[in-house]
Structure 1
Amino acid sequence: MKTRLTCPCGDQMKGADEDELVQKVQEHLAENHPDHEYSRDEILFMAY
């Protein structure tokens, strides 16, 4: 299970599970990078 992702901007996100990680990453993108949208599969591909 992948629960961590580091954004190219340097912010690190961690979720208790993949669902929480995806939610946190999508919230981060909406707040900080509104011109970028990624699907769940794309987020999990970049996660570790």
Structure 2
Amino acid sequence: MKTRLNCPCGEHISAPDEAQLIALTQDHLAEKHPGHDYTPDEILFIAY
């Protein structure tokens, strides 16, 4: 299970499970990178 992700902007995102990691990443993208939308599969692809 992937629970961490490093955004290229330097933000480190971590969560207890993949579903929450996806939600937190989508929230980060909406707030800091408007217009950069990624699917759950794309988010998990760059997560570890």
Q: TM-score, normalised by structure 1?
A: 0.98
One-letter amino acid matched to 2:7: C
Aligned residues: 48
Which of structure 1's runs of 4+ aligned residues deviate more than 6 A?
none
2:23 equivalent in structure 1: 23
Match of 1:45 in 2: 45
- Paired-residue identity, %: 58
Quote the residue 2:34 is aligned against. 34
Unaligned runs of 5+ in 1: none
Q: Which runs of 5+ in 2 are unaligned?
A: none
For the residues of structure 2 that align with 1:34 and 1:25, how far apart are their CA atoms?
12
TM-score, normalised on structure 2? 0.98
